[in-house]
Amino acid sequence: MQIPKALQSRQEELLATKVPYVHIEPFETDEVLEPWASKYRGIPYLPKGTPYPQGTSGRPLALLAQINFSEVPKLEHYPTSGILQFFIWDNDLMGLEFTEPYNESDQFQLQQQQNNFRVIYYPEVFQDLDLLETSFEFLPQFEFLPVDRPCRLDFSLREELIHSDDYRFEQIFGNNFPDYSNLSEEERMEHLLYDVAHQVSKIGGYASFTQVDIRTLAPPDENWLLLLQIAGSDQGDIMWGDAGVGNFFIEEKALQTLDFSKVLYNWDCG
């Protein structure tokens, strides 16, 4: 793992932050993937008789991502089977809502309420089309989504070190490290590229942001883990606003019980 010069004096502390994560590689496809396959966009897995998720307006939500954990390398604490789906509202805020007037504590709670986004988990997966909904003509033409075209997903287990986007970086290194005023232009660029390298699609590991880590607003006794990160990509023409990134987080205790009613959704851009 390449460590920026600005961090090499704290190499031992940095290496202690190494964690595994599942890297997600999207590949744009014209193929109609099976309903139970991992994918961005496309046809969701939906057992017959199960209501399709809707937003507060009654408008159907759009399938953003679907993860079949039987296709995913094993990652401690995360499911090893079942299908996890992520739906968002098709509007210019892509399912986000904001308090008026803005209040940080209220905002943190609002972004968990799944009013105009939804996270759904199916622990048992039926690979029988007779048991599944296959007709989705009722869905509108979605226009405001960060993923423009369907993608199949490939997964690989990797490792990474913490980067300065993550709120825990400051806890480890202090809020004055690295001191950019003392860095050369080469060192600043190297450190920037180190952070940008983490802006990939993934399950677990350290999250990336273009602004600030939303988890700084969490109560101190809660530990919010990265459930899914979707980064910009030419494959699928993925873009969150202006070069942004989208994240879903889950509180550790909720993940341990596979309770996906408590999920925090956030996206930001430059």
Q: Has residue 181 got a pLDDT over 60?
A: yes
**pLDDT reported for residue 12:** 87
Considering the chain, what is the average pLDDT of its residues?
91
What is the rounded CA–CA span in Å between residue 13 and residue 169?
Answer: 11
Q: Which CATH superfamily is domain 5-268 in?
A: YwqG-like (2.30.320.10)
Q: What percent of the chain has pLDDT over 90?
A: 71
How much of the chain exceeds pLDDT 70, in percent?
91
Residue 193 is predicted with a pLDDT of: 56
Q: What is the mean pLDDT of residues 131-139?
A: 95
Per-residue pLDDT tens for 88-133?
999 989 999 999 888 998 999 999 999 999 999 999 999 999 999 9
Q: In the sheet where 83-88 sits, what is the strand order?
A: 117-122, 83-88, 62-68, 39-40, 151-160, 19-28, 202-203, 224-231, 245-251, 263-268
DSSP 177-230: -S-GGGS-HHHHHHHHHHHHTT-S-EESS----SS--GGGGS-TT--EEEEEEE
